[in-house]
Structure 1
Amino acid sequence: MTIPLPVRIQAAFLRGVYALPEAARRALAGRPVVVDGQTLALDAQLMLRLQRLSKAALVLPGGVGPSRMALEYGRHLVGGPAIRRVSVRELGIPLEHGELAATLYTPDGLAEGSGLLVFLHGGGWVLGSRASHDHISRFLARRGRVRVLSVEYRRPPEHVFPAAVEDALAAFDYAYTKAADLGADPERIAVGGDSAGGNLAAVTAQTAVRRGGPAPVFQLLLYPAVDASARRRSRELFADGYFLTSENMDWFADHYVPAPADRTDPRLSPLLAEDLTGLPPAYIGTAGFDPLRDEGEAYARALEEAGVQVRLSRQPDLIHGYANYLGAGRRFREATAEAADALRRALDGSVDGSVAGDGGR
């Protein structure tokens, strides 16, 4: 994708703002924001301030097309410079309905037979792509020292529920069957994603376990959507003003599961599955200032009660989508690095500080 000059100028401006002394950044961001006993990180508050000034929004008035394009360009604003020492290979996953595009990310120097993460991007099922989440995929590959297979699942409104669920499961099956061709160990394959991608990863893990046979060995769930049937307290607390809004969530759900779909279906609301036993260990990252915070944490509790090994990590000072802001200050990258380190420990049992210490750059 050719980056338009205005986007390059905005990216340079953003870098300049985040390079200002803390006092100047605080003056731009405004007084500290405290909600529910949590203080919003300066990096996050400054990002929200800049978004308001530029009238940026997750869902634009023009609908699906302009909103998708804005998210694609947004990564060049907030994702930071390209992460080095990661090779990329484009793949096609054959399916009954055609070929599913995917990208394999491999950090330099990684031996054959490594762990592999099947990554499912966020964007409310409607927005987002492998391209919009290229920075996250590279970061997880580099910092986590794993191969990452990022998948271009079908999106609504062109393809409604459960098309994305079917594609996510097919991508895991492909990764398992073709592990040797991908340079991966079939016994060390994880599923993961952010937001809607976290939803698809959780559903994939449940479906694979319940059918019997190959299943993921780990789940990396970043601020996942796990219950479309209820509105919890965090959705009311952070309904507006923190980028992802309650109105956005309704818009996404209406596109993905138009009426009369059953929003209690566990393939949409994995928190409502009758049986959560036997699922793979999970890292669940939530953000304090996120409408989805409480349902993600409810899922962590439900997994733990079912005997599943879970690490719940609330980032109390951050907003939804924090893994997308790797180039904005330090705090977003720190939170995402924690998730990548958890992935690495889960798939190879160690963290080499000399490599992890480079921040995944």
Structure 2
Amino acid sequence: MDYERLIDEETWAFIKRTAESYPDDAVDLSIEDQRRVYDKMCQDFRQPRPAGVETLDRSANGVAVRIYTAGDPTRTVIYFHGGGFILGGLDSHDDVCAEICAQTGYRIVAVDYRLCPEHVHPIQFQDSWTAVEWAVHEFGDPLVLAGDSAGGNLAAAVAHYARGRLKAPVLGQVLIYPGLGGDTSRGSYVEHAHAPLLSRDDILFYETMRCAGEVPKSDPTFAPLLDADFSDLPPTVVVTADCDPLRDDGSAYCDKVTAAGGQAYWINEPGLVHGYLRARTTVKRAADSFERISVAIEALGQGIWSYD
């Protein structure tokens, strides 16, 4: 793959800066060391919270959450962070959540689900569902589900499971370069097996850590693409990076939603790589994509579908 042609200078600078904190061989480190270098990388990229955004850390029936508000919101976004299910937490995506809050005016509830390998599947899904149920009981607002990478997986898994189970409507879901359980032997998994910042081998490593054993074959709380029923899902926007092994999961997921009669739209961002949310202040392509993500979250929260 000719990444020198596909990826522009700004994005290469972001890739190199990322590698200074989180090198390509980080998966060879101990889990503790992986978390240490990942947290340092996130801190290196972290932006100040926008003025007017207030935060409060709470326990959502035992699951740690951070609540972001700016004004008097009437919608709640549940945000699930990325990190391969083994990395990240409330601080790793703090600035992203704060900026989404400021740009949409919605309440953001960031979920600090327990991590692998200390807590293997389905703990991450169970924590996510617990936080969602708590938010509905606490605030009573209609919901938008959102998340990046592993968090995109959890957002989709919650959307599937939530059908008929919540007292508040799920108005939409926005999935950012999600891993949804696609076929790792074909498509973008092969085409971009050695992509910058996330390789196919990395994905398989994270999958092994998540399972601590055999990978489930028909569990949509593990891999939403494995669900046999895609009907009655909320309007869905999936945003992927073109230079990413996970790219085709987004396309396949949207195809399944629309085939079942739902609304889904796939945005594939040319020249971008996995994890580009951290590049939104230095890479124009990433900044433009983040704007599209915020607009999608805000529009779905208002029941607006502008993708037909």
TM-score above 0.5, yes or no: yes
| Structure 2: 5+ residue stretches without partners | none
* CA contact 2:241–2:274 (8 Å) conserved in 1: yes
Residue 309 of structure 1: how far off its partner (Å): 1.0
Distance 1:215 1:240 in 2: 40
- Equivalent residue runs for 1:3-152 within 5 Å: 33-34=4-5, 39-52=6-19, 56-57=23-24, 59-94=26-61, 99-107=62-70, 110-112=71-73, 114-152=74-112
Distance 1:32 1:158 in 2: 36
Distance 2:194 2:20 in 1: 16
**Quick one: structure 1 residues 314 and 61, their matched pair in 2 at CA, closer, same or farther if it must change by over 3 Å?**
same
Residue 345 of structure 1: how far off its partner (Å): 1.3
Residue 239 of structure 1: how far off its partner (Å): 1.6
Q: Which residue of 1 aligns with 2:197?
A: 243
* CA contact 2:171–2:303 (8 Å) conserved in 1: no
Q: Which residue of 1 aligns with 2:178?
A: 224
SS at 1:139 equivalent:
helix
Residue 152 of structure 1: how far off its partner (Å): 0.6
Distance 1:319 1:143 in 2: 24
| Structure 1: 5+ residue stretches without partners | 1-30, 180-184, 351-361
**Quick one: structure 1 residues 292 and 166, their matched pair in 2 at CA, closer, same or farther if it must change by over 3 Å?**
same
Task: Find 1:156's aligned residue among 116, 121, 126.
Answer: 116
* CA contact 1:87–1:106 (8 Å) conserved in 2: yes
SS at 1:283 equivalent:
strand
Task: Find 1:264's aligned residue among 207, 211, 218.
Answer: 218
Report the residue type matching 1:339 in the other structure: I
Distance 1:61 1:32 in 2: 24
User: Larger radius of gyration, structure 1 or 2?
Assistant: 1
* CA contact 2:200–2:245 (8 Å) conserved in 1: yes
Higher deviation after alignment, 55-64 or 144-153: 55-64
- Equivalent residue runs for 1:165-244 within 5 Å: 165-179=125-139, 185-186=140-141, 188-209=142-163, 211=165, 214-227=168-181, 230-244=184-198
SS at 2:266 equivalent:
strand
Identity of aligned residues (%): 26
Distance 2:22 2:106 in 1: 37
Report the residue type matching 2:250 in the other structure: G
**Quick one: structure 1 residues 142 and 66, their matched pair in 2 at CA, closer, same or farther if it must change by over 3 Å?**
same
Q: Which residue of 1 aligns with 2:274?
A: 320
Distance 2:82 2:22 in 1: 21
Distance 2:20 2:134 in 1: 44
Residue 91 of structure 1: how far off its partner (Å): 0.7
The superposition leaves residues 183-207 of structure 1 with CA deviations (integer Å, 9 ceiling, x where unpaired) of xx52x21111000000000000100
Distance 1:54 1:261 in 2: 30
Residue 142 of structure 1: how far off its partner (Å): 1.1
Report the residue type matching 1:47 in the other structure: F
Report the residue type matching 1:111 in the other structure: D
The superposition leaves residues 124-148 of structure 1 with CA deviations (integer Å, 9 ceiling, x where unpaired) of 1111111101111111111122110
The count of corresponding residues between Structure 1 and Structure 2 is 303
Residue 102 of structure 1: how far off its partner (Å): 0.6
Please, what TM-score do these two structures have when normalized by structure 2? 0.91
**Quick one: structure 1 residues 208 and 321, their matched pair in 2 at CA, closer, same or farther if it must change by over 3 Å?**
same
Q: Which runs of 4+ in 1 moved over 4 A?
A: 51-55, 210-215
**Quick one: structure 1 residues 341 and 58, their matched pair in 2 at CA, closer, same or farther if it must change by over 3 Å?**
farther
Report the residue type matching 1:175 in the other structure: A
**Quick one: structure 1 residues 40 and 172, their matched pair in 2 at CA, closer, same or farther if it must change by over 3 Å?**
same
Report the residue type matching 2:4 in the other structure: V
Report the residue type matching 1:103 in the other structure: R
